[in-house]
Structure formats: C-alpha cells, structure tokens
C-alpha cells in the first residue's frame, strides 16, 4: 500500500515544479513584452523626431541657414505669449554664424477641440515665413482646413509682421480682421490667428535674447 505521506510529498513537489515552470514562463513573457515595448517606443520616438525635423526644416528655406536647426535649439517659458505653462522649443537658423530666422513652438490654447500646437517661423526681421499645425484635437473634418496636406489656409500668414496688419486686423473677417475663417467655423481659426500674433509679439520683444542664449543640450 502506498504511503500517504509519500504521495503528499510527491504531489507537492510536482505542484511546486509546475508553479516554478509557470513563473518562469510568465517572467519570460513579461521580458519579451517589455523588450517589444521598448523597441516600439524607440521606433515611435525616432519616427516622431524625423517627422518633426521635416516640419521644422520645411519652414525655413535652405538659403537662409547652414546650421542644424534642431541642434540649435533653446527652451523658453512664456505662458501668456506662447499659450502654455510648459517650456517650448525655439529653433534658431543661422548662416555663416549670423542669425537669420527662428521657428517657435507655440500653442493656441482655445481651439474648438482643445489646444492647437503650432510651429511659427519668422525671419530675423520678424516676417512670417510659414506656420504649421503639429498637433490638434479637432473633430474629424474640422481640422482639415489647417492640418491636412495641401491646405492653403495657413499660407495667409506669410509675409505678415506683428504690426502688419494692425492689432484689429489679426482676426477673422467676421470680427473685422483680415483673415478668412473656415466654413461655418470661427473658434479655431480665431485661436490660431491670435496665437500667431502673440508669438510674433513675443519674438519682436525677445529677439536678441533668443539668439544669444546657448543651445540646449537635450
């Protein structure tokens, strides 16, 4: 007759081996998943960096700079002017060491669907070279006028300065300004227009300081 104590010990040993094997299997799975997550996160970060680099470089003509725009970067904080309490990036363009333009990452905080993140490029004199929308929360279709490839609405900012038009002109036509609104929509275009104007005003007031600061290491 089998000894009950021996059977119990054997069962416990078998059960222990099963639990150990299961634990090892779970840990291996978690390790694989963590590795995949790190790889995916790194790839996503690289893709986002590459996409952002394209956006920044597209705003400043090659004839205006011979430096690496993304490397010649500083961080600034100006919640009232740039629409966010968080530090935002300013990319400096230089040619033969002389400043020629800047690309300022600012935010229109009061878009219809929430904050609208912008890149506003200005030449050294303060004229708009271009504006890109890099992130928004508009409902499908609402952001097409300013965020979709081929949209020309943002082109209207080119050549303007903080004083051209005068302050009243920095608004949609419905409010007496010089810029078109979207079809049946004024909240987001109004927000973008005013954000661009505030960004230009900030640039005009801090231009020398922006170009004199040493580049950020990150």
**Mean pLDDT throughout 77-100?**
96
Look at residues 141, 149, 157, 156 and name the one whose alpha carbon lies nearest to residue 104: 157
Determine if residue 149 is left, alpha or beta; phi over 0 gives left, psi from -120 to 50 gives alpha, anything else beta: beta
Residue with tokens 């708009």: 128
15, two tokens:
């059960």
pLDDT tens-digit series, residues 117-143: 999 999 999 999 999 998 888 877 666
**Mean pLDDT throughout 35-44?**
51
Whole-angstrom distance, CA of residue 100 vs CA of residue 65: 7
pLDDT category of residue 44 using cuts at 50, 70 and 90: very low
202, two tokens:
């900030």
Higher pLDDT, 45 or 165: 165
Whole-angstrom distance, CA of residue 165 vs CA of residue 214: 33
Cβ contact 26:34 at 8 Å: no
Decide if pLDDT at 105 tops 70: yes
pLDDT at position 45, please? 40
pLDDT category of residue 14 using cuts at 50, 70 and 90: low
């Amino acid at each position: 007759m089998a000894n009950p104590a021996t059977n119990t010990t054997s069962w416990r040993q078998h059960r222990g081996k099963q639990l150990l094997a299961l634990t090892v299997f779970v840990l291996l799975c978690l390790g694989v998943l963590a590795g995949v997550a790190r790889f995916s996160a790194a790839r996503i970060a690289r893709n986002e960096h590459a996409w952002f680099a394209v956006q920044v470089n597209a705003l400043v003509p090659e004839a205006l700079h011979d430096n690496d725009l993304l490397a010649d970067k500083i961080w600034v904080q100006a919640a009232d002017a740039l629409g966010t309490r968080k530090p935002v990036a300013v990319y400096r363009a230089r040619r033969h060491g002389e400043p020629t333009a800047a690309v300022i990452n600012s935010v229109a905080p009061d878009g219809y669907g929430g904050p609208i993140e912008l890149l506003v490029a200005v030449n050294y004199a303060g004229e708009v070279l271009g504006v890109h929308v890099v992130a928004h929360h508009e409902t499908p279709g609402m952001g097409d006028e300013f965020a979709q490839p081929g949209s020309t609405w943002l082109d209207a900012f080119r050549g303007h300065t903080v004083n051209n038009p005068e302050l009243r002109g920095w608004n949609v036509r419905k409010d007496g300004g010089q810029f078109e609104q979207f079809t049946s929509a004024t909240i987001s275009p109004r927000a973008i227009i005013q954000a661009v104007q505030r960004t230009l005003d900030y640039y005009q007031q801090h231009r020398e300081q922006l170009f004199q600061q040493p580049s950020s290491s990150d």
